Amino acid sequence: MDYRFEFRPYRRLFKQPLRTHHGLWNVREGLILRFTDAEGRVGWGEVAPIADFGTESFAQALSFCQFLAAEITEETIAQIPSTFPACQFGFGAALESLTLPLKGSEDGEDLWATRKQSYLLPTGMAALVAWQDPWQQGIRTFKWKIGVAPLKKELEEFETLLRSLPKGTCLRLDANGGLDWDSANQWLTMCDRAREIYPAKVEFLEQPLPVHQFDKLLHLHQQFITPIALDESVSTFPQLQDCYQKGWHGIFVIKAALAGSPKQLRSFCQTHPIEVVWSSALETSVAQHFIRHHLIPSLPQSDRAVGFGVNHWFLDTALNQPNFEQLWQSL
């Protein structure tokens, strides 16, 4: 079947630069896709690449969309190469949202209740204030980026933050692959000790070492009590498969918008006993809605909070709204 294909780029400014080991991130760019079938029904998708995570660049994704004809077929979508995983996801999501029924309720299932979402804190001591309002709103899981300042300073800030967090709080530490072997061991030693001292707990340490140090990541996973979660190491579907085949049976942090074909990802998660934490790629409500209503409800459920508490990082709110036609017209 042929579908009318349209796309519009977006450009979103952060309220303040997002600091990770990869550097400062000031602007989020992506593409909103719109499919229309012969009966006038519309399907929505989003291409939200992050080149630092192993996807195509925004410029490559834009060129790819510009190259396509105004009419697109399912065969064309199936032939999108694995080197364009963000495009695979966006086009696959647009097709599924048009042709398959919703899996989740429109008013939101328990999985997406405030208590079950992870809230991204700013780096450094700004986190000491930033957790308080979301805590009052019911958030109990927070994510804090590390590996962006000197080790001694960050460890001191970490202890200060843990002392301030109430009982019942889970803190996720995300290094974005920015630690070396010695600093990773120091962090994990501190995390293990903190479990015996502070009422808040460290849920896991995410991607402490670079992607190419898989054997060392596996060793850390086996050596410490604090769990290790892979993120950049499993950004795309081939990486996910590779780490599983190499023996990783810990936590997989999956950014579905970067992982490639949703059909392929769904099949893998349905047939392999992996522990998944769903995480945002700082996409708009278009991709978030697909992940929420089409992808996650069709897979084994987890008690871990989903990592989609990120919309507060952006200046605009137009791309967070659930009315996609209005969102489309705002671009």
Strand 23-36 relative to strand 42-47, pairing = antiparallel
Check 167, 246, 255, 263 and give the catalytic one. Answer: 255
103 catalytic? Reply is no
Read off the pTM.
Answer: 0.94
Residue 14, pLDDT above cutoff 50? yes
According to CATH, the topology of domain 2-102+321-329 is Enolase-like; domain 1 (3.30.390)
Amino acid at 191: C
What's the pLDDT tens digit per position in 134-176? 999 999 999 999 999 999 999 999 999 999 999 999 999 999 9
Confidence of residue 115 (pLDDT cuts 50, 70, 90): low
Residue 88, pLDDT above cutoff 70? yes
116 catalytic? Reply is no
- What pairs with residue 228 in β-bridges? 205
Check 103, 116, 143, 145 and give the catalytic one. Answer: 145
- Would you kindly state where each structural domain of the chain is located, as residue ranges? 2-102+321-329, 110-320
3-class secondary structure per residue, 94-161: HHHHHHCCCCCCCCCCHHHCHHHEEEECCCHHHHHHHCHHHHHCCCCEEEEECCCCCHHHHHHHHHHH
Is 3.40.50.620 the CATH number for 110-320?
Answer: no
What's the pLDDT tens digit per position in 193-211? 999 999 999 999 999 999 9
CA 77 to CA 87: how far, in whole Å? 9
CA 240 to CA 254: how far, in whole Å? 9
